[in-house]
Structure 1
Amino acid sequence: MPSSSPHATESTLWTPFTYTLFRAIWIAGLVSNVGTWMQNVAGVWLVTTLTTSALLVALMQTATSLPAFLLSLPAGVLADLIDRRQLLLYTQGFMAVVAVGLGVLTFTGSISAFGVLGFTFLLGIGAALNAPIWLTVTTELVPRSALPFAITLNGVSNNIARAIGPAVGGAIIAYYSPGWVFWLNGISFLGTWVVVYYWKREPTITSGPAERFMGALQAGIRYVQYSPNIYGVLIRAFAFSFGTAALLGLISVVVARKLHLSAGTFGVMLSWMGAGAVAGAYLLGRVGARLTLDRRVVLGALVFAGSHLALALITTVYLLYAVMFVSGIAWLMVMTSFNTIVQLNVPRWVQARVVGIYMLVFQAGASLGSLVWGELADHLSIDASLLIAAGWMLASTALALPFPMRSGEGLNLTPSEHFPDPFTGSGIDPDDGPVMVLIEYHVARADWHAFQVAAEQLKRLRLRDGALRAGFFSDVVEPSRITEFFFVPTWGEHERQHHRFTKEDQLLESQVRKYHRGPDKPRVTHLLAFPPASNVEIAAPLYALESQC
């Protein structure tokens, strides 16, 4: 829970800073982000001076991004299964040791180009494990009403670091040594470690049997599969990252080969984009309420379509600075919209897993986009690649029709905990299964259509929360007797289903149950495979455990 509560009833951009812990972690994160950007510059420069191989220099980007691609989803699972504060302490401590170690070897002259790649890969592993935790921990620091602004401020932190980190790192390298940059980055991680250490996080109370890693991984993927608003965000995030990879990947080529300008101009371009993102936070604080998150994403895609056109057609560098500034505003607007929707639409038990999947999809879009737009630039021309990318961004706005995004700000995702214990006896192991649950309704013929519409939504919730199969059957003799069934692999997974059901889900369940006619509540029957088989789906006789709810 937030450490303190502001007196204002309506949140603004500055509301998150009224919470002491958020403010401390935001400042620590800003310093750490600056250190990371400094590290990136110093690492690439050091490899450049240690080898004549362009391949090794290019592999620095791979060493940074590959761990994020490989570990985003497993990191999200760990963040949901293990105390997030402890994980942050481990990841920040690990990265501090790696950065300081690289600094020591650099000062002693014992480092090679391959060594820098190895240390960079280790830092990438730490960052990949850290990212889902860092994104989701914000939900514990501020109330839901202030969360969109907190996410915006986190984006500001990243872009301030993007604007000043490379410049500071370059100055230190020019006057001193890359080793000092590595040491300063290590100190920045230690600063974050200290802030997290003094965070007195309320312990998370988990109900039901503990999840295992593979089961938790499958649960996260299944949750996304049966959550239309979430996979809608993933589709649109992939389309956006794929398209914007053209601008982000080709801007250095435009500066060097088309405009024939120096690397300093390229750095200034990136700084203007970072400045635009910072300004975008202020604009969102002023006019953000007038634009839904869905419209922000559409507007951002349109802006980037124009930015790609400008980069292809404009040759005046000062006009391109303005283009990059506006692109920075659009980037922050879209990224904060995606992050806000993902975090507001997902309950805490699966939050980090969904964020991990989102990060994986976004990274995949950016990586694939870089490859595609780079190939087009080589085989056609830089301008042609940028013009095609502009068309892609324009076409991507049509995704708003089949995949509209809703903020989820008014959703109540706290566990409902309204289900009774299905069986109070002994002798059932959490690994016993499979389990079939039957719920019997009596529905008047006049209500069949309305019942079917609500029942389809409830079926999706059953599948989302752990069922392998789910559906509804009517009795051929007595058609008004309709039985819902859902099939769960183990008894423990069914118990977890009970605790995953939210108060928002309970409202949908009540829509189904209101069509039930009769003096008694719908009859619930739990069937367990006979004999029980651990985690194995078998065709076998069943014995019944009945309960009323």
Structure 2
Amino acid sequence: MGSEATYTVQTMSESSSSAHLGSTAGIPLSPPLPRRKVPLTRPLRHARYRNIWLANMVSNMGTWIQTFASAWLVASLSKSASITSLVQTATYVPIFLFALLAGVVADAVHRPKFLFFCNLYMALCAGTMAVLVTTGRIAATPVLILTFCIGIGTAFIWPAWQAAMSGLVEPDEVEAAATLNNLSYNLSAIIGPALGGVLFGWIGPSALFLANALSFAGLLGVYWAWWQERTPQATVTEAFGERFLCGVKTAFGCARYRRILRNVCSVFFSTIAFASLLPVFVRDVLHMQSSTYGTLMGCLGAGAVIAAFFLPQVRARIDKSGVLAGALVVYGLMLVTMSLSRSLLLLVPLILCGGMAWSATVSTLNAAAQLSFPAAVRARTLSIYLFVMSGGYVAGSVFWGQVADRFGVRAALAAAGACVLLNALILVSGNRKNPL
């Protein structure tokens, strides 16, 4: 599937949710479950979860290879920073457009069948991109259009996938499963770009796009087998409009959730500058090739993997607002320092630290969102989270690309870093009375 949901929406256990609920518009709450320490590998004892986890790791790797290849190909075809940044825009515009619809659909469809066809569609899009590059009919515009098409599949997969995954393990294993999902995604974020960076100049982008298309095979097999079991789907009695309005009213009726959404929009608007401008930074500031771009992309993923080993200890000592503010300070300083440096010896550890901060930022915001509502409306309220997140990404990728074209990529990175630091300051001052 190549889903970034493990990076952007982590499923939390029902036992935690009851303690942090806002207004839920009359939705009944589940009773709290007893807490106990669950080994990280325990969810893998469930065959279906294990098979999906393994297949999803392969698909995530393919997605990261394509993410790398698309950005570097567009950077090679166009000298404009704003055009290159549109790769991120094309990725997240579909989520912005379709997230709310996808959340309602996710609560009403037969999920294995739905996920099968969504992944098949994305595989065909990746295959089409490979064919276009192979035949020489490639330019920035077709790459962006097909990236947009793949993003549509991602938009519809995310809510359904999240809702399905939490039902494949025991309730007290959900947090461990979320950690495993996040680990899978971040390991792929290390290997995929690094592998793409080495192979781009050797076998070309068409082979990398084909590799992504083939990476969906495992997930298609797992979802097909699950679909053929004809598992019953819960009956939905509400009309589409009623389900949609229920999700919107529930989300925006909760003051705490509105604060979370404001933070999400402002944080992702600023932080997308790194992913949007890194290809241009490597090309125009470092004057290096695709392998360097892949290495620096991988460093961010490596930092996120490292963070998994110490974030639980940090969270045991510091509240969510403190963790988020500290992470934003580190990430903001990374962007500002990047704008001043050309040394790989400095950039590699710097981006590793940024990756750790990024993991803390994303997981803290997502956990806060997950813990706001019970399972009955979770897919719909999370779709609103995704809508706001993607809106921040889209606006930020366009804005920072324009800033880089006008003032230079260094100035754009420095300004983005300053905005991230400002977010941290606002968070500290504004959340004293209203913590996450």
- Band of TM-score, shorter chain: 0.7 to 0.9
- Greater helix share, structure number: 2
Aligned counterparts of 2:282 and 2:131: Cα–Cα separation in 1: 36
Aligned counterparts of 2:313 and 2:78: Cα–Cα separation in 1: 50
User: In the alignment, does 2:381 pair up with 1:354?
Assistant: yes
Amino acid corresponding to residue 134 of structure 1 in structure 2: W
Q: 1:203 aligns with which of 220, 224, 232?
A: 232
Aligned counterparts of 2:425 and 2:346: Cα–Cα separation in 1: 25
- Indicate how the Cα distance of structure 1 residues 366 and 110 shifts in structure 2: closer, same or farther if over 3 A, else same: closer
User: In the alignment, does 2:419 pair up with 1:389?
Assistant: yes
- Indicate how the Cα distance of structure 1 residues 28 and 20 shifts in structure 2: closer, same or farther if over 3 A, else same: same
User: In the alignment, does 2:232 pair up with 1:232?
Assistant: no
Is contact 2:193-2:297 (8 Å) kept?
no
Cross-structure match for 1:401:
432
Is contact 2:88-2:276 (8 Å) kept?
no
Task: Please list, as runs of the form range in 1=range in 2, the aligned pairs for 1:88-487 lying within 5 A after superposition.
Answer: 88-104=115-131, 106-107=133-134, 109=135, 111-113=137-139, 114-199=141-226, 203-206=232-235, 210-258=237-285, 262-284=289-311, 288-313=315-340, 316-374=343-401, 378-379=406-407, 381-382=411-412, 384-386=414-416, 388-398=418-428, 399-405=430-436
Is contact 2:85-2:401 (8 Å) kept?
no
- Indicate how the Cα distance of structure 1 residues 128 and 386 shifts in structure 2: closer, same or farther if over 3 A, else same: closer
CA-CA distance at 1:66 after TM superposition? 2.0
Aligned counterparts of 1:23 and 1:298: Cα–Cα separation in 2: 35
Aligned counterparts of 2:396 and 2:198: Cα–Cα separation in 1: 32
Instruction: Please state whether the residue corresponding to 2:215 is helix, strand or coil.
Output: helix
Aligned counterparts of 1:387 and 1:116: Cα–Cα separation in 2: 29
Amino acid corresponding to residue 396 of structure 2 in structure 1: G
- Indicate how the Cα distance of structure 1 residues 33 and 253 shifts in structure 2: closer, same or farther if over 3 A, else same: same
CA-CA distance at 1:362 after TM superposition? 1.1
What TM-score do you get using the length of structure 1 for normalisation? 0.63
User: In the alignment, does 2:96 pair up with 1:69?
Assistant: yes
Cross-structure match for 2:59:
32
Instruction: Please state whether the residue corresponding to 1:81 is helix, strand or coil.
Output: coil
Aligned counterparts of 1:139 and 1:146: Cα–Cα separation in 2: 9
- Greater strand share, structure number: 1
CA-CA distance at 1:376 after TM superposition? 5.2
Is contact 2:40-2:176 (8 Å) kept?
yes
Is contact 1:236-1:396 (8 Å) kept?
no
Aligned counterparts of 2:41 and 2:146: Cα–Cα separation in 1: 38
- Indicate how the Cα distance of structure 1 residues 337 and 44 shifts in structure 2: closer, same or farther if over 3 A, else same: closer
CA distances 1:341-371 after superposition (whole Å, capped 9, x unpaired): 3233322332211111111111222233344
CA distances 1:8-57 after superposition (whole Å, capped 9, x unpaired): 941243333343332222221111111112223444566677x6685876
CA-CA distance at 1:186 after TM superposition? 2.1
- Indicate how the Cα distance of structure 1 residues 176 and 391 shifts in structure 2: closer, same or farther if over 3 A, else same: closer
Aligned counterparts of 2:172 and 2:303: Cα–Cα separation in 1: 25
Aligned counterparts of 2:144 and 2:387: Cα–Cα separation in 1: 22
CA-CA distance at 1:224 after TM superposition? 0.5
CA-CA distance at 1:230 after TM superposition? 2.3
Instruction: Please state whether the residue corresponding to 1:193 is helix, strand or coil.
Output: helix
Shifted more, 375-384 versus 224-233: the winner is 375-384
CA distances 1:480-512 after superposition (whole Å, capped 9, x unpaired): xxxxxxxxxxxxxxxxxxxxxxxxxxxxxxxxx
CA-CA distance at 1:233 after TM superposition? 1.9
Aligned counterparts of 1:373 and 1:343: Cα–Cα separation in 2: 29
- Indicate how the Cα distance of structure 1 residues 193 and 59 shifts in structure 2: closer, same or farther if over 3 A, else same: same
Identity score, percent: 31
Aligned counterparts of 1:276 and 1:170: Cα–Cα separation in 2: 18
CA distances 1:102-130 after superposition (whole Å, capped 9, x unpaired): 444554x2744354444333222112211
Aligned counterparts of 2:283 and 2:202: Cα–Cα separation in 1: 26
Give unmatched runs, 5+ long, in structure 2: 1-34
Cross-structure match for 2:3:
none
Is contact 1:243-1:392 (8 Å) kept?
no
Amino acid corresponding to residue 435 of structure 2 in structure 1: P
Is contact 1:307-1:327 (8 Å) kept?
yes
Shifted more, 366-375 versus 340-349: the winner is 366-375
Superposed CA RMSD: 3.2
Task: Please list, as runs of the form range in 1=range in 2, the aligned pairs for 1:80-91 lying within 5 A after superposition.
Answer: 80-91=107-118
- Structure number with larger C-alpha Rg: 1
Amino acid corresponding to residue 99 of structure 1 in structure 2: A
Instruction: Please state whether the residue corresponding to 1:203 is helix, strand or coil.
Output: coil
Give unmatched runs, 5+ long, in structure 1: 1-7, 406-549
Shifted more, 391-400 versus 40-49: the winner is 40-49
Aligned counterparts of 1:97 and 1:303: Cα–Cα separation in 2: 39
CA-CA distance at 1:310 after TM superposition? 3.0
Is contact 2:336-2:415 (8 Å) kept?
no
Shifted more, 258-267 versus 124-133: the winner is 258-267
Report which structure shows greater RCO (CA 8 Å, sep ≥6). Answer: 2
